[in-house]
Amino acid sequence: MNLSHLTAISPIDGRYRQRVEPLAMYFSEFALFKYRVAVEIEYLIALTDLPLPALADFPRAAYEPLRNIYLQFNTTDADSIKAIEKKINHDVKAVEYFIKEKMQQLGLAKYTEYVHFGLTSQDINNTATPLSIKEALEKEYRPILEQLIDGLKQLAYDWRQIPMLARTHGQPASPTSLGKEIRVYIERLERQYEQLLQVPISAKFGGATGNFNAHKVAFPLVDWVAFSNEFVAKQLGLDRYQHTTQIEHYDNLAALFDNLRRINTILIDFSRDVWAYISMDYFKQRIVAGEVGSSAMPHKVNPIDFENAEGNLGMANAIFEHLSAKLPISRLQRDLTDSTVLRNVGVPFAHTLIALHSLLKGMGKLVVNQQKIQDDLEANWMVVAEAIQTVLRREGYPQPYELLKELTRKNERIDKEAIHQFIDQLNVDEPIKEELKAISPSNYIGYQ
């Protein structure tokens, strides 16, 4: 059976492929080869600036054609690497041989032994992978998250003057406003986004066990630590760990995944709240002509966008959690468990992107049912009991909490008339009674 959107095992490469297609440039096998080639070539070019006799006459004019090897990298190149890998059974060494072949074609055969000079596979993997993650965050994840936050800000502004019954423990509680409740999520997301920007994207670059053994024995007068710090920072834009085993610690990568997981958790909370408001009829959903809500019940318009988002955010978080828990652990100086796990790093990003697209779509379909919201406020006048007893406390009235408790816990409907009758019976001055009667579920909303 040929691979297609219909035959793919994962819905990421099947049903949802169109939504996550851009991620293939960062997290596919093709992308990993391309980033590996880029690191190898930039490393070779960086070496030509060192006082290494064999590279003293390296032609500067060769830099551009060398860089074009990864800038113009295509599926034919990736297939060539796979063919080499099939022969030698090593994916990173296959990249090295591929670059050497390209250099021979460019007339640079005499310099080929400086490709992958002194390095181990993880010097390439632990720079290529974080580099791909860094660029995916900058070019794919952050723009759509910013779009979502901006969308929430617009909703918060549009709904800023809509008072709404709050519910704590599922029960009617002191009123709020719809716009303020959206601002809660804006603040939470922005705080986590700020933290996301502070997490370093780190790399390991230091030879077989992190000590530059091969580099130092070959050229003891070169300061390889300083060279590598500058190379990783300036050429790759990453933060180099100073003391490592054969692999990077992944501690910062784990922190990044945990941060992304917290953002997703906030969005799960948002998805569930909106779902609940839809079920309460606080929101209607714009009807799209021709769409079917239920295969059996013609009247239904299901909150599928928020359900889809919740499900995909949960999938993403499960994998982010495994990545952040597993990657920082490796036996002694290296085991291979990180290798296969890291190949899945694009999966939680894909599920997250699917969810973000669903949320944006769902948010665009929401229509506030102000009449239902107002009806709920009018049906729950007991929520002003907090306001009344607080004003009475201010006036030194005896046991106001207990009085309001007795009034509102009779399992009887408490409406405006019942509240005002209670106020009329209070032994307070007339201006205080007028002050209390001015309080309603619609205006008792505090700061918004």
Dist CA 81 CA 103 (whole Å): 15
Dist CA 137 CA 141 (whole Å): 5
> Which residue from 145, 102, 133 is spatially nearest to 25, judged by alpha carbons?
133
169 catalytically annotated: yes
294 catalytically annotated: yes
- Kindly give, in sequence order, each residue whose CB lies less than 8 Å from that of residue 165, ignoring residues fewer than 6 positions away: 172, 173, 175, 176, 373, 376, 377, 380, 383, 441
Strand bridging mode 283-285 / 366-368 = antiparallel
Give the active site residue among 28, 169, 228, 249. 169
Q: Are 273 and 224 in contact (CB under 8 A)?
A: no
- Kindly give, in sequence order, each residue whose CB lies less than 8 Å from that of residue 130, ignoring residues fewer than 6 positions away: 201, 202, 203, 238, 248, 253
Q: Are 33 and 73 in contact (CB under 8 A)?
A: yes
Which stretches of 184-327 are assigned E, i.e. beta strand?
202-203, 239-240, 283-285
Q: What six digits make up the tokens of 68? A: 């074009």
- 127: enclosing H helix or E strand: helix 121-136
Task: Give CA separation, 433 vs 123, 353, 398, in Å.
Answer: 76, 55, 16
Give the active site residue among 243, 294, 351, 357. 294
Q: What six digits make up the tokens of 297? A: 């019940």
DSSP tally for the chain: helices H, then strands E: 20, 6
Quick one: angle between helices 91-105 and 75-88, nearest 10? 120
Q: Are 209 and 273 in contact (CB under 8 A)?
A: no
Phi/psi of residue 176, nearest 5 degrees? -135, -160
| Active-site residue list | 169, 294
